[in-house]
Structure 1
């Protein structure tokens, strides 16, 4: 168990070391979108170019779609100038999304270390570790939700996603996995007090969630 905890800690440190290189690698699709938007603003002959991609996720369509909340309320009119500003907002939100991802990953590691000690603790030591573990769980849930919302509600890019394999698609598939794992981990945590036999399943769900989350960061960075 100690070797596993040390491995998880090392992985977190290595990933945090790459945090400063986020914008250049992960936002290149948006760079292309910016270039296309610049063409739209400077060349009146391409005004028939759609301002929104043909495919958007539900949360983006709710806010940023042609009839989204920000459109119908006239907070963000759908114009070339407006879309140029939205792409800048998108870039800021995605950088924040990845920074919060590293914060969440560090929280996962800390929670795993405390959780491993909690399984073998008794008496006052158990209660102390349980309080720490619960506080870390609350913090991780907050940072995890913030990380997800920054991505899900960011303005859409200019172009639809290309067909075929990409690191972005792998990142999204892994996101589905760690979201499911996060839900399972929290549900099982709430059931532990009345059914201690669920501890191995709770731990397995937590390790699965951490693994999928870490791999999603690796996929986008490497």
Structure 2
């Protein structure tokens, strides 16, 4: 009887502890499916969607839009799918394109200088010297046309920059660079057209020279403008 009383007494004393332990075991299962957790998750998803930024800038050169735009050739063919990871790679490609653009720009400028020297000699050359310098002049023209065209394509077909890139209002070195690009591109076309007609019409030589000097001046000024950025 005495032992039975002791067992009953211990049962009464320790019952609250056993009850507390059992609730602790059940607690994780109950709290894992709280409705408030689902609401918080939906709210978080809503916030991430509203804070999402566009991957492409609104303003792009028409050649960039043709290749890298939302419906550009590289998107439609799935060569460069539009995604955050893809845009990171495109920005690296853009940097490589623009660095190559600058390097080839200086190479082309050096070609313009050499072509100007050859052109000056060609105007005063006669006989065998004229034939030799003319051949050199034509070869240099081919090299310049190739380097000039490649330099332009590297800029026009590079992936677009960041959509958050700030654009300065008013005058800027970039806008000056682009305006001068229109000038030297026009001069480049005119110089090549006049060069083909000079052989049959010597009266066009002054115009050919004027177009060549205008192209060189605008091109050199464009390079200086971008270096002052």
Deviations for 1:42-63, whole angstroms, at most 9, x for unmatched residues?
A: x956752111111111100010
The separation in 2 between residues aligned to 1:46 and 1:79, in whole angstroms, is: 17
Equivalent positions of 1:82-161 (< 5 A) are: 82-159=86-163, 161=167
The corresponding residue for 1:183 is: 189
* Structure-2 residue corresponding to 1:69: 73
Q: For each residue in 1:164-205, what CA deviation from the matched residue of structure 2 results, as whole angstroms up to 9, or x when unmatched? A: 221111100000000000000000001001100100110010
Matches of 1:116 and 1:63, distance apart in 2:
42
Residues of 2 paired with 1:103 and 1:113: CA distance?
16
Unaligned runs of 5+ residues in structure 2 are: 1-46
What is the rounded CA distance, in whole Å, between the counterparts of 2:110 and 2:181 in structure 1? Answer: 17
Distance 1:155 1:46, change over 3 A: farther
Larger Rg: 2
The equivalent of 2:217 in structure 1 is 211
- Bigger relative contact order, structure 1 or 2, given CA contacts below 8 A and separation 6+? 1
Residue aligning to 1:81: 85
SS of structure 2 residue aligned to 1:48: coil
Please state how far the C-alpha of 1:146 moved relative to its aligned partner: 0.3
- Range moving further from structure 2, 86-95 or 157-166: 157-166
2: CA distance, partners of 1:190 / 1:151: 28
RMSD: 1.4
- What is residue 202 of structure 1 aligned with on the other side? 208
Q: Hey, what's the Cα distance between the residues in 1 that align with 2:213 and 2:168? A: 32
Name the counterpart of 1:4.
none
- TM (norm. structure 1) is 0.78
1:57 aligned residue (58, 61, 75): 61
| Structure-2 change in CA distance of 1:125 and 1:168 (3 Å) | same
User: Any idea what SS the aligned residue of 1:103 has?
Assistant: helix
Task: With the length of structure 2 as denominator, give the TM-score of the two structures.
Answer: 0.76
